[in-house]
Amino acid sequence: MVSLKRLALIPVALAALLAAGCGGSGDSSSSSPSATEWADGLCSAITTWSSSVRTSAKTLQGGNLSEDSLKTATSGITDATNELASDLKDLGKPDTDAGDKAKEATDQLSSDVKDDVQTMKDAVENASGAAGAATAASTIVATLSKMGTQVSSAATKLQQADAKGELEKGFKDASSCSDLTGSG
């Protein structure tokens, strides 16, 4: 399931980008989407989140490390991550044998990234002066890296649950997944 493994690389790449710079909505209970529709929703949510986080991280590039730049970047990352968490919850359960496990994995990821957002917000709120900004930036980078681990864990859970290969086929067939799986 190469496509699922590649999803896990996105937050890690974002953390690297940030480190370098420092120095959907639907009713999930109404129906069960096909594996392709579900994968398309997941990839679309991750693509949107990734793009938004990259944009926010750019505010810290070029040595622009201040309390204000951290607040701006964290606000953008927070908004994007809250949207991702909501989108993950809204995915519902795909109409596959692994549907329950897939929903469980995305619900757990949604909960995890919400916790991560709070970690970043707390770090920025407690930052004072240049040293505090540097510490907060370090926390943001570490938290984005942690998100990468969480996405990887969710991908592993999906892979393990997908004995019949229905989700894998869904990821291959979903148009929004081609950008995520076509490179890297």
Give the per-residue SS3 of 145-164: HHHHHHHHHHHHHHHHHCCC
Task: Determine the residue type at 137.
Answer: A
Among 52, 53, 44, 5, which residue's Cα sits nearest to residue 25? Answer: 44
Quick one: pLDDT at residue 118? 92
**120/141 Cα distance (integer angstroms):** 9
Among 181, 150, 162, 154, which residue's Cα sits nearest to residue 35? Answer: 162
**32/171 Cα distance (integer angstroms):** 16
Kindly report the CA angle at 43 between 138 and 40, in degrees rounded to 5? 165
Quick one: pLDDT at residue 16? 46
Quick one: pLDDT at residue 130? 80
Instruction: Divide the 184 residues of the chain into consecutive groups of 10 and give the mean pLDDT of each group.
Output: 48 47 41 90 89 81 74 89 91 91 92 92 87 85 86 85 88 84 48
Among 68, 77, 72, 85, which residue's Cα sits nearest to residue 120? Answer: 77
